[in-house]
Amino acid sequence: MQNKYPKILFVCKGNMYRSQMAEAIAAKIIGKENVKSAGTYTGAADEPEGLVLKDLSTIFKTGYENFDKFLLFMKERGCDIGENKTKKVTEDLVDWADIVIDMAEDPYDLELLQNSKKVTRFEIPNDGTKCALNYENEHIYIEKLINSHDSIKAL
C-alpha cells in the first residue's frame, strides 16, 4: 500500500529548535516515517553534528539557558525530542523529501535549497524562548501544508 502522505523535510539553521519542533508536530499527524529535520549550519565547528538535544544546555554555557524548558514544553505536548540528535541537511535528504520547508535565516540558507523546486520558505523566528508561539504557528502551518498537498487532495 502506498503512503498517502508526502515526505517532508524541515530545515532550520541548527536543527535544535524550529526544525526539530516541526518534525515532531508533523510526525504526530502523519507518522514518523514521513518526516525528517536537518540544519543548514549543523556540522560547523561551533555546532557539531550529532549533538543530543537534552545535552545542549550543558554543552553550550550561553544561549541555551531555556532549552530544558523548551524540551519540557514539547514533552508535555506528546513530543519527547530530548534524545533526538542534530543532523546536517544533505542532498540525499532533499532528494528523499517531496516537500522541503526551509526556515533557515540568511546567511544560513543554502544554495542547495535555493535551487530546489521542492522548497517552500516558512518565516519563523529563531528564538527558542518563544516556543509556545512557534509551536502554535508551526502546528497550524503544518496542518495546512499537509491538507493542501496534491497527494492528500487525491484521496
Domain boundaries, the chain: 8-140
- Enter the C-alpha cell of residue 147: 491538507
Rounded to two decimals, the pTM is 0.85
pLDDT at 87: 96
Residue with cell string 545542549: 56
What CATH topology corresponds to 8-140? Rossmann fold (3.40.50)
Q: Is 69 helix (H, G, I), strand (E, B) or coil?
A: helix
- Enter the C-alpha cell of residue 84: 533526538
pLDDT at 1: 45
CA atoms of 121 and 129, how far apart (whole Å): 22
How far from 137 is each of 2, 39, 89, 146, CA to CA, in Å?
A: 30, 20, 23, 14
Give pLDDT tens digits along the chain (155 positions).
456 888 999 999 999 988 998 899 899 888 999 999 999 998 888 888 999 999 988 887 677 777 888 888 889 888 999 999 999 999 999 999 999 999 888 767 677 788 788 888 887 766 655 666 667 777 777 777 766 665 444 43
6 and 35 Cβ atoms separated by less than 8 Å: no
Residue with cell string 503512503: 3
Nearest alpha-carbon partner for 138 in 33, 43, 18: 18
pLDDT at 127: 64
pLDDT at 154: 44
Q: Is 89 helix (H, G, I), strand (E, B) or coil?
A: coil
